[in-house]
């Protein structure tokens, strides 16, 4: 048998009243969320419009395209305290060139280190700066790697 005192009954009644109050207050807020869809969508479109595009071709020293080359982009955060548009990204991005040697990716404005490597070629590294919403065309020429053979006794 559960014994309920008058004090417990009052506390329980107030708790139920407060619970209903939260439900009554919460529903209109959730119902009004549909009016926030368009402003949130416009905000996302505006933010994504500030991305620059890095587009390029990987070639050998003779000008032939190199497919399946690995392009690694790393944000250089140095100077981000002094330059307003060095937003960058926190994670490295890796893309692979297609059968025509082309690659393309969108990045926030900033300074980046671009590393390019392919089988049988020496790696290439260069620092670039992307501004605003520019489309930067980038052509990389890789040199054939010297193959050394060492015989072990």
| DSSP per-residue string spanning 93-134 | EEEE--TTSEEEEEE-SEEEEEEEE-TTB--EEEEEEE-TT-
Please, which pLDDT band fits residue 56 given cuts at 50, 70 and 90? very high
For residues 115 and 32, which has the higher predicted lDDT (pLDDT)? 115
Helix (H, G, I), strand (E, B) or coil at 136: strand
Two tokens at 60? 């050998």
Is residue 70 predicted with pLDDT exceeding 70?
A: yes
Say yes or no to pLDDT of 48 above 50: no
- 112 confidence band (pLDDT: 50, 70, 90): confident
Position 104 confidence tier, pLDDT thresholds 50, 70, 90: very high
Across the beta sheet with 135-142, the strand order is 102-107, 52-60, 135-142
Distant-in-sequence, close-in-space partners of 61: CB < 8 Å, separation ≥ 6: 141, 142, 143, 144
Count the neighbouring beta carbons within 10 Å of the beta carbon of residue 78: 10
Residue 59 exposed, middle or buried by CB count within 10 Å (0-12, 13-18, 19+): middle
Identify the residue with better confidence: 89 or 32. 89
User: 16 or 123, which is more confident?
Assistant: 123
How does the average pLDDT of the chain come out, rounded?
Answer: 74
**Do 73 and 96 form a contact (C-beta atoms < 8 A)?**
no
């Amino acid at each position: 048998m559960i014994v309920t005192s008058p004090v417990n009954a009052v506390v329980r009644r107030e708790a139920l009243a407060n619970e209903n109050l939260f439900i009554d207050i919460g529903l209109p807020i959730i119902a009004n969320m549909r009016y926030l869809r368009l402003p949130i969508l416009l905000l996302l479109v505006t933010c994504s419009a500030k991305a620059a595009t890095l587009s390029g071709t990987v070639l050998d020293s003779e000008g032939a395209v190199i497919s399946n080359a690995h392009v690694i982009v790393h944000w250089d955060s140095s100077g981000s305290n002094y330059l307003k548009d060095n937003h960058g990204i926190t994670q490295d991005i890796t893309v692979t060139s297609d059968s025509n040697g082309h690659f393309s990716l969108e990045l926030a404005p900033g300074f980046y280190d671009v590393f390019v490597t392919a089988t049988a070629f020496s790696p290439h590294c260069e620092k670039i700066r992307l501004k605003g919403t520019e489309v930067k065309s980038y052509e990389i020429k890789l040199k054939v790697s010297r193959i050394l053979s060492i015989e072990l006794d």
